[in-house]
């Protein structure tokens, strides 16, 4: 499906970053922000620009949570169910700690002090390195409109469509990164990021992912890997798939130059399920022309594209 036309900035016509990115055909691959785990806190809003810091949580609770998250490469997001909250909803809220090596740990909280259980889960070691057993998927859709208009305008219809297809597994969430790729969907605990979706393509993409067939058309990357590694893994999914999430594993990487700097190269060794030996990818970092990358940006900024020049 072709991208919608760009919306130019001007009097009465504010810039819409996702429209402009679609018009430029900005590459999505290699743009999943790094994280090892996610701590998700149900918070019905409103969400300020810095949602977690402005959540109103007691600093004596939020401080230890953010410190533990920083130590464990965990990203904290606020979540809420799609649609408007019902006036009859009770005070109990959900927290989730989820990630590829952990699966999903779930708890309930009513007062800020109850988040001591979430802190204990954050500070506990991951289970056996072979990974947990199967966990129910957690589907996040960024709908943080105060942070970026595109996330709300494009994200909420996608969240509603996914919620209809996967009842009880979908949450709207605060800023996940990559506003210009809205709507953004994160499939947890796998940590796969998809962008540039619409309601129909989101439902099809997520259904395929959950069925063990990762589709690459809207795939941004996997947050457990560096950007050039993400590009290599996406290329392997495209060349040898369809494959399940986690079927492509990075074994080693070697860099020429600073990772992500224009002209730098990364050689990535991959293990692909069902294939003998190692697959190798060579990834080149290319600086793109400056552009307005978010609706709120004050100036143009260059982004980096990761081009896979060799795979085999």
**Tens digits of per-residue pLDDT, 103-143?**
999 999 999 999 999 999 999 987 765 555 567 899 999 99
State the Cα angle at 248 between 241 and 102, rounded to 5°.
125
- Predicted local confidence at residue 141, as pLDDT: 98
Residue 66, pLDDT above cutoff 60: yes
pLDDT category at 261 given cuts 50, 70, 90 is: confident
Could you give phi then psi for residue 210, rounded to 5 degrees?
-70, -20
Tell me the three state secondary structure of residue 38.
strand
pLDDT digits (tens, 9 = 90+) for 292-306: 999 988 899 999 999
Helix (H, G, I), strand (E, B) or coil at 70: helix
Asked whether the predicted pLDDT for residue 10 surpasses 70, the reply is no
Judged against a pLDDT cut of 50, whether residue 11 lies above it is answered with no
Q: Which three-class secondary structure state does DSSP give residue 74?
A: strand
Confidence band, pLDDT 50/70/90 cuts, at residue 249 = very high
Question: In terms of pLDDT, which residue wins out, 129 or 230?
Answer: 230
As a whole-number percent, the residues of the chain with pLDDT over 90 amount to 81
Q: What is the pLDDT of residue 13?
A: 54
What domains lie within the chain, and their CATH numbers? 31-224 (3.40.30.10), 225-312 (no CATH)
- Segment (H or E) for 301: none
Strand 279-287 versus strand 304-311 pairing type: antiparallel
Say what the pLDDT of residue 14 is.
65
What is the per-residue pLDDT for 206?
A: 98
CA separation for the pair 250, 280 (Å, rounded): 10
The structure's pTM equals 0.91
**Distance between CA atoms of residues 174 and 109, nearest Å:** 19
CA-to-CA dists, residue 122 to 36, 56, 104, 137, 306, angstroms: 12, 20, 12, 19, 33
Q: Would the CA dihedral through 52, 94, 246, 74 be positive or negative?
A: positive
The pLDDT-based confidence of 251 (bands split at 50, 70, 90) is: very high
Q: CA 284 to CA 293: how far, in whole Å?
A: 21
- The per-residue pLDDT for 260 is 79
Q: DSSP strand E in the chain: where?
A: 37-42, 74-80, 93-99, 103-109, 138-142, 170-173, 185-188, 192-194, 219-222, 248-256, 265-272, 279-287, 304-311
Joined together, the tokens standing for residue 39 give 């701590």
pLDDT value at residue 49 = 93
Residue ranges of alpha helices (H) inside the chain are 17-24, 59-71, 116-123, 149-165, 199-210, 227-240
- The structure tokens 């941004």 sit at 220
pLDDT at residue 69 greater than cutoff 90: yes
Average pLDDT of the chain, as a whole number: 91
Q: How far apart are CA 222 and CA 204, in angstroms?
A: 19
CA neighbor of 281 nearest in space, from 304, 254, 303, 259: 254
Query: What's the confidence (pLDDT) of residue 2?
Result: 39
Tokens 């960024």 sit on residue? 142
Predicted local confidence at residue 148, as pLDDT: 86
Does residue 282 have a pLDDT over 60? yes
Q: Which residue has the higher pLDDT, 136 or 84?
A: 136
d(CA 170, CA 80): 9
């Amino acid at each position: 499906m072709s991208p919608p036309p760009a919306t130019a900035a001007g009097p009465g016509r504010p810039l819409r970053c996702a429209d402009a990115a679609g018009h430029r055909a900005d590459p999505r691959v290699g743009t999943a922000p790094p994280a090892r785990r996610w701590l998700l806190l149900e918070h019905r809003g409103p969400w300020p620009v810095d949602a977690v810091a402005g959540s109103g949580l007691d600093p004596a609770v939020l401080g230890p949570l953010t410190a533990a998250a920083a130590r464990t490469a965990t990203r904290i997001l606020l979540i809420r169910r799609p649609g408007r909250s019902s006036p009859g909803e009770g005070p109990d809220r959900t927290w989730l700690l989820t990630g590829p090596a952990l699966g999903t740990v779930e708890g309930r909280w009513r007062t800020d002090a109850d988040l001591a259980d979430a802190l204990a889960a954050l500070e506990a070691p991951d289970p056996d390195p072979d990974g947990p057993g199967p966990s129910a998927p957690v589907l996040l859709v960024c709908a943080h409109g105060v942070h970026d208009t595109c996330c709300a305008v494009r994200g909420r219809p996608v969240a509603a469509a996914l919620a209809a297809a996967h009842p009880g597994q979908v949450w709207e969430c605060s800023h996940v990164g990559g506003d210009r790729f809205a709507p953004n969907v994160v499939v947890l605990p796998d940590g796969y990021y998809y962008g540039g979706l619409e309601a129909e393509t989101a439902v099809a993409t997520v259904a395929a992912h959950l069925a063990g067939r990762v589709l690459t058309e809207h795939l941004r990357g996997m947050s457990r890997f560096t950007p050039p590694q993400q590009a290599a893994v996406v290329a392997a999914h495209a060349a040898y798939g369809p494959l399940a999430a986690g079927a492509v594993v990075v074994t080693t990487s070697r860099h020429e130059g600073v990772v992500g700097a224009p002209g730098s190269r990364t050689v990535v060794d991959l293990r692909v399920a069902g294939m003998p030996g190692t697959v190798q990818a060579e990834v080149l970092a290319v600086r793109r022309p400056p552009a307005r990358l978010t609706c709120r940006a004050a100036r143009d900024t260059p982004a980096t594209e990761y081009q896979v020049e060799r795979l085999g």
